[in-house]
Amino acid sequence: MKTHIFKLTILTSLILSVGVQAAPPSAELKVKGKMGVPSCTVVAPEGGIYDLGKISAMNIKSGTATTVLPTVTKTWTINCDATTYLSYTSIDNRLASVSDTSTTRNHGLGNINGAGKIGFYTATLSNSRVDGNSTSMYYRTSTGTATAGTSLYLVDSYYYGFSNASAVATSGKSFSADITITPTLAGTTTMNGPVTEDANIDGSVTMNFSFGI
């Protein structure tokens, strides 16, 4: 990324007349710095993978009954080389496989038995910190106003960021937040039949981070 360097030089001089003219002393004061887009690194724990391990098919209920699995929490960290504002959006790459579409909070876990749906999961944001200090977070739609909170659901295509309690964005160099997923397995009817062989749970969300001065 191209970086522009701006230099500002301030010159100052002082002339003293003490009987005989002497060479005027002078000094130079320089103010230097760099301006550009900050560079940030996202530290996704374990590569961003939430491994649920091997789940027995015995956990799957018949019909449309669901099974809630244990939650998994991981801390995500973003480190920047300059003070900046950080925001992000998420895109559910398995949105079409969500088994319960009654709320936009749910994310898909992939398909099974052809068009059957494995289930869904929610992702909750909490414990946000900026430069080591606890903060709130905000969310908004593409056209709505920002709303702040300390625990927010991750919703597909919403905008999120770090803020104070009034939803005013907070800047910093180090950002972190916990993302907790709560997976739920669908029933055999929703899965388009029983599980007769190994199948992969395949939830996938792309997190897009934006930053700037």
Domain residue spans of the chain:
40-48+59-212
Structural contact between residues 136 and 187, judged by C-beta atoms closer than 8 angstroms: no
- Tell me phi and psi for residue 45, to 5 degrees: -60, 130
3-state secondary structure of 58: helix
Q: How many CB atoms lie within 10 A of CB 201?
A: 20
pLDDT in single tens digits along all 213 residues of the chain: 333 333 333 343 334 444 455 667 767 676 766 666 678 999 999 999 999 999 999 999 999 999 999 999 999 999 999 999 999 999 999 999 999 999 999 999 999 999 999 999 999 999 999 999 999 999 999 888 999 999 999 999 999 999 999 999 999 999 999 999 999 999 999 999 999 888 899 999 999 999 875
Amino acid at 13: S
Q: Copy the structure tokens of residue 52.
A: 């649920």
